[in-house]
Structure 1
Amino acid sequence: MSTANSAAAAVRTLALGESERRKIAESLAATDALLASAYPGDDGSRQPVHTAYIPADTFNAGLPLQWGTTALAAADAQGGLEAVAAALGFANPATLAGLVERKLGAEPIEDLRLDFEDGFGSRPDTEEDAHALAAGREVSDAVRSGSAPPFIGIRFKCFEEATRERGLRTLDLFISSLLEHGELPDGLVLTLPKVSTVAQVQAMDYACGRLEEVHGLQPGRLRFEVQMETPQLILAADGTVPVARLLHAASGRISALHYGTYDYSASLEISAAYQSMEHPAADYAKQVMQVAVAGTGVRISDGSTNVLPIGTPENVASAWALHSRLVARSLAAGYYQGWDLHPAQLVTRYLATYDFYRSGFSAAALRLKNYVHKIESTILDEPATARALARFIHRGLACGALTSDEVSGEAGVSIAELTLLAHPKVSNRSGSSHE
């Protein structure tokens, strides 16, 4: 528009004057507040690519690196990481093997859950009390020594009537033990399993608030994951979708929804032989979860496969083929996290995850580079697509699939610029802007 035309437009009387615009703003005030509070978007923090589960009484500070050593030994028994990558059909197996070997040696577990639920079982109260206190001490020691994974916490028993008292007691003792031996870990994660109603989430919200008051913690410091293991969260008796409501019923404390493959499948009377992360019933539940969390900043995680890579070489190879395919399937569906139940599953967790990011990196980097530097291309990407491209690369960088040099070299952006592109809302809240 020319300067003359701009000036003419500026003096032209607008049909929607100040009073009309104010009336519209007032009518949308509730919508503005809802979007700001209930749909703040992702906070830009790191999301682990997996959660490893172990019985709570087996944890010690050396366990994470032991898992990495065990995973490497399993790969060596099958000819080494490069041979495994090649057998699974991944491109550039040598490059993948080098990156995964480095990961397994330095940070084999990204997120670890000490399990007081199914993996621990029902034991006398005195025994579980002792292990809850010991867990707090061991986790605190591991964090202090630098051997703990970036994210670590416990899964306690659910809030159904039969186990509610026990679950609350274990949670209480664990938190108090952590604080007795130091500060709460930055990456502390608490997991509430077998949730079936919004009221159970509200009860957990209350419990967390009370623990914060008693221990002098900042309000909102304690957050938790909800395990999606019951169909009642997907469709309630009144026809509503509770999973969408519960996200907004816990004072912003819910950090993630985790799909529980086997409990959910069993609750639908699916035969054991057909219980799987890729069953149509699982896909339906996970798609509902995915829609529910969109824009809320709550993360989602897929479940696990109980087919473990142990036993004969043929059994190991078959289990790895299954696991790698399931990991890749979850990633393609937008589920960037899953569960691992055995150290040898780390081999395919990282091979499949790294292949996912590396195989899509060059195309994503080129499109992002063209967008940022306004280079003419056959693909005209919009800001939302540019964010998706940046987030894809950002995730690959965070887990070790990509290197900083690769990103800056091929995408033509610094890591700071990449982060700004991936999470502009976070950057805007901190005072800077890209778009």
Structure 2
Amino acid sequence: MSVEFLNAVERSRLLEALFDNTSSFGILSRRFRDSFQPARYSAVSCEIGQMCKEFVASTEGTALLAALYIVDYMRKQDNVAAKSTFYDVLIELEHAIRRDMFIVEQIKYTTKESKEGKKSIEATRAEAFRIHCAAKVFAFQLLGDVVADDEKVVSYASKKQESIDEALNAWEKASIKIKEPMADIEHCWVAKQEKQQCGSLYETAAVFDEQPNKTFALLLPSITAKLPMLPMQEGELQYVLPGKSGMLLLDSAPPSEGWMISKRLLVQARKSKLSKDDEQALLGLLNESLVSRLGVSPQQLSELATHNPEVCASVLLKLPSGSAGAFIQFLLKGNIPEENMQTILLRASSVLQQVNVRTFISTMIHKLRERGELSTGAESVKNFALSLHQLVMKAAKENREIFIADAFRPDLEQLFQSSSNPEVKNRWEDMKR
């Protein structure tokens, strides 16, 4: 995945625009248009993403707000990199706000400074908290498209904490206004994370999947060459390796019977439904050591999910939680049968991330609306309600990432209450408690 950067001249022009706190937003956008063509927006987004991290850390308020405005300008031009960067800055701000609150409380109860010194430190942290909150409010107003061209950066950067708190409360109550743009930038951010986590697996999966017993292969756990011992015994074979070849890994062990059986069954599982006996045999053989050598790829998991969702879920449970979440996100956006996808989510609930739950809910609502099944007692509505109920009421006890975001509650309320099936309505009432 290639990354573009600005040259020295472009970076200088960008910094001049960001630190000009006397101009209006209209002039700022005009200067930006004159300096950068749309073909360079991805490079600008990458550069601003790094700058914003520095601005958040150094509490450089005016430059941070100007950077957000420029990123939003590119976002409105439908630049994917800008959308991802905007969401990245929101995450950075949220972390900074929580960190500010923690430090203020820590100073209040643990510092040994004098009263004057403590007040000075508290004032410094309070100012950092104010700037970060002001930037968050400004970001929401940009998403809500309520920032006028004749306004200036300094007017937002100088707001008092009381007015900032009022604005944050107002946006929380009117979050429906920014629901669509927020979902759009979140989708772009998630897609970028998926590319970073899953992209390189395509190149390596083929070797490990098709030729697992290659003599020269990087295996886990690593096998290091032993030092030569003399004298050599009769019939003993030893490799005397020069010192500079210490990183060479040799593995001449024949594949185990379990490996051969699991590979054969996995090939079948990717093509058709396994018999009950074969499925149980494969589930019994799968473990973390074996899965780490399978060369798991999105395509492989997609085929398993289509024909054998139980096996797919078992493989996901043996992967690191971060990778498992990215793979589940790939499956949710694919053409996996609904019943199979719900089985996978229920079986692999311990590795689900909040973004997976959000995608599952939004995808199902969209599909049901397209098919016109909202006002009927459709079986798919019932299955969706039962699966979501199990996730929220049972799986959530073990995984705190599983919960229904407030943004989805009105749509789910309409969906389940319009159903003629009383069981669907009862399950929804349980989930609302």
TM-score, L = length of structure 1 = 0.29
Higher strand residue share: 1
TM-score, L = length of structure 2 = 0.30
Relative contact order, CA 8 A, sep 6+: which one is greater? 1
Larger radius of gyration: 2
Higher helix residue share: 2
